[in-house]
Amino acid sequence: MWNSLLISALYGTLGVLLSALGYKLFDLIETKVDFAEELKKGNMAVAIVVAGFLLGICFIIGRTVGG
């Protein structure tokens, strides 16, 4: 039981780290828009795009890491 719990925690941590890395890479590649600044301004369109991007990355990571 503890083994399964530890493995799940490790996969969860790996998923979160890879999601953050994916966002940072996307932010570095897309230089036309400063996502952090637009989010601070309250731009809902940028928020929806970033949310969709993060959901897509999380889905891919979840399918890859979780099996």
Residues 1-50: pLDDT tens digits?
788 888 878 888 888 888 888 888 887 887 788 888 888 999 999 899 88
The token pair at 57 is 């990355």
- What pLDDT does 43 receive? 92
**Cα–Cα distance, 25 to 44 (Å, whole number):** 21
pLDDT at 67 over 70: no
3-state secondary structure the chain: CHHHHHHHHHHHHHHHHHHHHHHHHHHHHCCCCCHHHHHHHCCHHHHHHHHHHHHHHHHHHHHHHHC
pTM of the model: 0.66
